[in-house]
């Protein structure tokens, strides 16, 4: 059976022969020299792509690097198909009728007809090279228990582009054999990429072409029916969605439809997400000693850096592009801080930690030992619940505590206001307390309108309102000047609040209750929702981009990024080991970082791993 190297050698031989034919034709028909330039350039690119494929073929021909049979069979068909079109171009140039000196040579239309299948074949060769790179990376990841490669993300849009070209050829009854051969290869590679790449693989091209909406126009404008309620602007009842069809924007790897037209109007106004996105892997932190419990981007840093809190150790800062360079928070009592939030306007951080003064000497010594000795797993919290919690506000530029410690049962920080002056903290008896951290830690207001514990709270973009999410089944919006409620949303899934995010550019609020994502604009009363269960697979929310375009979710196989407006999956990440435990988007929504737990099933035993990606739209 012919090897991939043999197929590449045949293609290189055919390219050498046609080079001679082109030279002879040009010498006979000097007026055609300019017309032949596109063909000469494409043949040169074809030689480069063929050499790249041949250079990577050895380990696959020898069976040293595993690759699915259908993928490798398809890859070997690509150079063979290119040989056919190179020979066809050579026959055209050597046609006896064209060899006559009185023949006017070759016209641009002829050249375009010859170049098109060669360009398609060359692009398929480049995709084949990327497929071999992906297979190599996947094999290495499986051996090391690491993540699959994310650098091959360009393979997905290129697959889509080639499929579009082949579909156009079929419509014109041109290059039909090439369309059949390459489509088989592309579909095999598409299936392989869907399992191991960081991207959502495009749907069948017939679905893509069924839409009359251009890619630039089909960017994910908010979809859905945009239902509101008739209860006025101050109170809203979420509709019962038991009979509603799955959200038209929720896609799966195989059943996805990136080309489906998106409604041009929605009552929920969010910045449009891209039709699809790629992730470029930037860096990875050295393996951390315990699971990551929180990640946040530092708004004061000139270069992207994040604060990371883990189960056992102090909060540390890591530069995204130089992850080995790190700083530790100072302060003797800064142990085991969780529920971390950073100010969007200055070097302020709030965490909850155990109040050490109440511990016995022996317990304190155990905590000190756990901080100093590698391998010790002694802690007095479970990552969320503390025996005697206190909220600490810390200026990490001056390395000083900014306020007195806020200490009461269940205390934890929720969020800073946009100016960084106020901090919302969970209080007792279903209340939220707001403190003026810039003014020395004075209490300035309390939200008292909930009847159960408050799960989460966020300030609005202007800082003049506070959105609170409670286990009593309500979202409430409270003025930060009068401390009176201005709007309320009630949901049926009141027993299970999961996630809350508020737009930094508008008035939209995203909340997740159970398996439903609710999009609510308290200014207009607009309301829409979609399910985290559907053709795209289950997801458990980890982080929202500040502009509410993206929602990052943990999945059974790793993580994904979804269009917040519709639930449509934009990109998938498959983990070779561990599961996602935390995530964060940069303030400009250009970067994403995901932390995961590896090497253990219990939070005390797992190690932490953090990856950084650049979002490519």
Average pLDDT value for residue range 113-138: 90
Lowest mean pLDDT, pick from 59-63, 140-144, 196-200, 270-274: 196-200
Up-side HSE of residue 309: CA atoms within 13 Å toward CB?
A: 24
pLDDT of 77: 94
Average pLDDT value for residue range 449-470: 95
Q: Which residue has the tokens 């000097």?
A: 30
Q: How far apart are CA 95 and CA 9, in angstroms?
A: 25
3-class SS of residue 460: coil
Average pLDDT value for residue range 270-284: 87
| β-strand pairing of 485-490 with 235-237 | parallel
Residue 100 pLDDT > 80: no
**Among 47-61, 213-227, 436-450, 594-608, which range has the highest average pLDDT?**
47-61
pLDDT digits (tens, 9 = 90+) for 480-525: 999 999 999 998 766 789 999 999 988 999 999 999 999 999 998 8
Q: Which residue has the tokens 């995961």?
A: 596
Joined together, the tokens standing for residue 366 give 């155990």
Q: Helix/strand/coil (H, E, C) string of 297-326?
A: ECCCCCCCEEEEEECCCCCEEEECCCCCCE
pLDDT digits (tens, 9 = 90+) for 159-174: 877 888 888 888 777 7
Higher pLDDT, 376 or 179: 179
Up-side HSE of residue 101: CA atoms within 13 Å toward CB?
A: 1
Residue 208 pLDDT > 60: no
Residue 109 pLDDT > 90: no
Rounded to a whole number of angstroms, the CA Rg of the chain reads 29
- Check if the beta carbon of residue 612 is closer than 8 Å to that of residue 584: no
- Domains defined for the chain, CATH in brackets: 4-197 (no CATH), 235-616 (2.130.10.10)
Up-side HSE of residue 206: CA atoms within 13 Å toward CB?
A: 4
Q: How far apart are CA 202 and CA 156, in angstroms?
A: 7
pLDDT of 172: 78
| Closest to 83 measured CA to CA, from 13, 151, 155 | 13
DSSP per-residue codes, 44-98: HHHHHHHHHHHHT-HHHHTTSS---HHHHHHHHHHHHHHHHHHHHHHHHHT-HHH
Q: Could you tell me what percent of the chain has a pLDDT over 70? A: 72
Confidence tier at 228 by pLDDT (50, 70, 90): very low
pLDDT of 98: 55
Higher pLDDT, 38 or 251: 38
Task: Tell me the whole-structure pTM to 2 decimals.
Answer: 0.59
Joined together, the tokens standing for residue 501 give 């995010």
Q: How far apart are CA 421 and CA 427, in angstroms?
A: 19
Q: How far apart are CA 320 and CA 355, in angstroms?
A: 32
């Amino acid at each position: 059976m012919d090897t991939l190297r043999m197929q590449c050698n045949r293609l290189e031989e055919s390219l050498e022969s046609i080079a001679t034919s082109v030279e002879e034709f040009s010498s006979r028909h000097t007026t055609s020299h300019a017309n032949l330039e596109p063909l000469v350039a494409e043949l040169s690119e074809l030689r480069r792509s063929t050499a790249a494929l041949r250079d990577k073929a050895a380990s696959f021909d020898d069976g040293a690097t595993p690759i699915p049979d259908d993928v490798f069979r398809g890859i070997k068909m690509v150079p063979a198909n290119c040989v056919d079109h190179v020979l066809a171009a050579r026959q055209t140039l050597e046609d006896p009728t064209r060899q006559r000196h009185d023949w006017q040579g070759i016209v641009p239309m002829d050249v375009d007809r010859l170049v098109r299948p060669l360009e398609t074949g060359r692009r398929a060769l480049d995709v084949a090279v990327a497929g071999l790179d992906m297979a190599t990376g996947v094999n290495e990841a499986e051996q090391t228990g690491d993540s699959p490669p994310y650098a091959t993300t360009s393979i997905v849009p290129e697959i889509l582009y080639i499929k579009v070209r082949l579909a156009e050829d079929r419509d014109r009854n041109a290059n039909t054999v090439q369309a059949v051969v390459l489509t088989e290869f592309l579909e095999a590679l598409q299936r392989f990429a869907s399992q191991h790449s960081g991207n959502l693989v495009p749907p069948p091209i017939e679905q893509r072409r069924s839409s009359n909406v251009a890619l630039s126009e089909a960017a994910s404008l908010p979809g859905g029916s945009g239902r509101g309620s008739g209860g006025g602007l101050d109170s809203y009842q979420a509709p019962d969605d038991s009979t509603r069809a799955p959200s038209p924007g929720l896609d799966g790897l195989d059943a996805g439809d990136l080309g489906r037209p998106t409604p041009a109007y929605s009552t929920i106004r969010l910045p449009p997400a891209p039709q699809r996105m790629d992730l470029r892997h930037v860096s990875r932190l050295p393996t951390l000693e315990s699971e990551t419990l929180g990640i946040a981007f530092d708004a004061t840093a000139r270069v992207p850096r994040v604060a990371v809190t883990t189960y056992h150790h102090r909060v540390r800062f890591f530069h995204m592009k130089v992850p080995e360079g790190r700083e530790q928070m100072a302060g003797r009592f800064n142990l085991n801080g969780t529920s971390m939030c950073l100010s969007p306007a200055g070097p302020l951080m709030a965490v909850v930690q155990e109040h050490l003064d109440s511990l016995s000497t022996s317990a304190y010594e155990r905590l000190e030992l756990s901080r100093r000795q590698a391998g010790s797993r002694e802690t007095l919290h479970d990552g969320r619940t503390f025996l005697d919690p206190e909220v600490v506000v810390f200026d990490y530029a001056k390395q000083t505590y900014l306020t007195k410690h806020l200490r009461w049962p269940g205390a934890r920080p929720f969020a800073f206001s946009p100016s960084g002056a106020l901090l919302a903290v969970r209080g007792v008896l279903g209340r939220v307390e707001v403190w003026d951290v810039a003014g020395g830690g004075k209490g300035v207001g309390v939200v008292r309108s909930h009847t159960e514990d408050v799960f989460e709270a966020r300030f609005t973009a202007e800082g003049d309102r506070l959105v609170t999410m409670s286990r009593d089944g309500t979202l409430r919006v409270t003025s930060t000047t009068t401390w009176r409620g201005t709007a309320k949303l009630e949901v049926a899934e009141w027993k299970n609040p999961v996630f809350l995010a508020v737009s930094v550019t508008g008035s939209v609020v995203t909340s997740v209750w159970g398996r439903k994502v609710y999009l609510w604009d308290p200014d207009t009363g607009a309301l829409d929702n979609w399910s985290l269960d559907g053709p795209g697979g289950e997801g458990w929310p980890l982080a929202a981009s500040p502009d509410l375009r993206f929602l990052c979710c943990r999945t059974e196989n790793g993580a994904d990024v979804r269009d917040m407006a519709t639930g449509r999956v934009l990109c998938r990440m498959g983990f070779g080991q561990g599961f996602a435990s935390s995530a964060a988007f940069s303030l400009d929504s250009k970067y994403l970082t995901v932390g995961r737990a590896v090497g253990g099933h219990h939070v005390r035993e797992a190690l932490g791993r953090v990856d950084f990606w650049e979002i490519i739209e």
